[in-house]
Amino acid sequence: MTSENPALGVRQEPGTTSENTAAALAGYQQALAVAPLSAETRRTYLSKVRGYLTWLATADTDGDPLTEGRAQDWAVRDYRTHLVTVAKRAPQTINTTLAAIDDFYTRRGLGPAAAGRLDLPAQAPRALDAKTALRWVRAIAAHPAPRDRVLALLPIYAGLRVSETVALDTGDVRLSARKGSLRVRGKGTTVREVPIHPQLRTGLQTWLEERLAWPGAGTSPALLLNRRGARLSVRGASDIIRAVAVAANLDEQDITAHVGRHTFATTLIRGGTDLVTVADMLGHSRLDTVRLYTRPSAADRERALNLLPYDR
């Protein structure tokens, strides 16, 4: 792809950056390994940066985007154009990619690229509608494995991110005679308390009893263990939720931990819960983030169209 930017005087031929892009990716992977980010974020950022560097290795750029500030800005803008016009990625995906590339360049000492984000459609995050949410909850209840039921219940009944779910320890679950709460470690050093819904309480009690017989029960503090007795990973948790959805004949693309978290927030807000309470339960420090859930969804727009007269 030819750069859309003015020449620097020295035109860089495809694949002739001062540092091999494979080496740049390897260095970034090492930096991510010790970065204070969730495993899911590290995996996403690495994937997005790998795509950018793969494109960069064959791109016709002005200067060296790996070492020169202006060349960096122009290359990222060109890649943004590529994602829009050639790859046809969704605006949210492109913005996530740009955030990953900014992280890559920041860790290289160049700082974020001067490339604006795309405007996003003003609609709520994707959540399950009431009918699908009920099907999902019934599918979880019918699943035979207590650990997997708890794993699938935590996002939709407690609003947890998948990284927060696997980070739970048995000591974070506090059950009394009738009530209970979860101590959740969120992003950074934040900690919040989330009340336990009765449906989740039953699942937790059943799993805690079965957990006693699992490998690692006496040595690992993790609430959710894998079959080897170690803490369940983010990838393992995501695969399990996907498998539960497939077993219930639900579209696994629509059923993820993040969608469960969005469904939790959307249900509370549309049920009349104030934004401050929802923000507190989700672990958000800014109300603007929670206000996204008050926006109309695609389903809301479809229902609005159904109100119009239709002459058959």
Is 295 catalytic? The answer is no
> Does 284 qualify as catalytic in the annotation?
yes
Tokens 């050639």 sit at which residue?
86
Per the CB < 8 A criterion, the answer to whether 180 and 174 are in contact is yes
Concerning whether 82 is annotated as a catalytic residue, the answer is no
Supply the Cα-derived Rg of the chain in whole angstroms.
23
CA distances from 203 to 74, 85, 159, 239, 275 (A): 53, 47, 16, 19, 28
Whether 179 is catalytic is no
Q: Is 258 a catalytic residue?
A: yes
| Active-site residue, selected from the candidate residues 108, 258, 270, 291 | 258
- Chain center to CA of 257: 8
Of the candidates 89, 183, 185, 187, the residue annotated as catalytic is 187
One DSSP character per residue, 177-194 reads SS-EEEEEE-STT-EEEE
161 assigned to active site: yes
* Long-range CB contacts (within 8 A, 24+) of 14-20: 14/57, 14/58, 14/59, 14/60, 14/61, 15/57, 15/58, 17/56, 17/57, 17/61, 17/64, 17/65, 17/66, 17/67, 18/64, 18/66, 18/67, 19/66, 19/67
Catalytic pick among 161, 201, 231, 262: 161
* Residues labelled as active-site residues: 161, 187, 258, 261, 284, 293
